């Protein structure tokens, strides 16, 4: 085990930073789920690029709301988009 010594002031600053980060995490987890997703979340869910998502918007394939330059999507609309684009697989009879 390696022991490192740091100055008291440095330790206190580090401790305050950690406390601040923990508070920010608590705030993020405490936010209610409002049912809206941003571009990044939708891209992650659909495993697509931001450009592909832009194309879907341009073609009217996925509904969205826009505030300034930021787009938001209802979770239900993203689920419906996935269902509409679902490909059924036919079972082969052997």
Confirm whether 8 is domain-assigned.
no
Confirm whether 10 is domain-assigned.
no
pLDDT of residue 52: 97
Confirm whether 92 is domain-assigned.
no
Confirm whether 63 is domain-assigned.
yes
Q: For 30, how many CA atoms within 13 A lie in the half-sphere containing its CB?
A: 6
Confirm whether 7 is domain-assigned.
no
pLDDT above 90 (res 28) = no
Confirm whether 89 is domain-assigned.
no
Tell me the pLDDT tens digit for each residue of 60-81: 999 999 999 999 999 999 999 9
Q: How far apart are CA 73 and CA 64, in angstroms?
A: 5
DSSP state of 91: P
Q: Select the more confidently predicted residue: 4 or 64.
A: 64
Q: How far apart are CA 48 and CA 54, in angstroms?
A: 10
pLDDT above 90 (res 43) = yes
SS3 29: helix
Global pTM exceeds 0.75: no
Domain that holds residue 55: 36-84
pLDDT of residue 27: 60
Confirm whether 56 is domain-assigned.
yes
**For 1-94, where are the E strands, in sequence order?**
36-38, 65-67, 70-74
Confirm whether 49 is domain-assigned.
yes
Total number of domains in the chain: 1
SS3 38: strand
pLDDT of residue 8: 92
């Amino acid at each position: 085990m390696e022991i490192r010594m740091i100055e008291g002031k440095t330790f206190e600053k580090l401790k305050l930073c950690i406390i601040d980060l923990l508070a920010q995490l608590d705030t993020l987890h405490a936010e209610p789920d409002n049912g809206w997703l941003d571009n990044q979340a939708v891209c992650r869910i659909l495993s697509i690029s931001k450009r592909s998502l832009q194309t879907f918007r341009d073609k009217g394939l996925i509904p969205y709301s826009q505030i300034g330059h930021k787009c938001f999507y209802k979770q239900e609309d993203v689920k419906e988009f996935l269902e509409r684009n679902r490909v059924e697989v036919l079972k082969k009879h052997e």
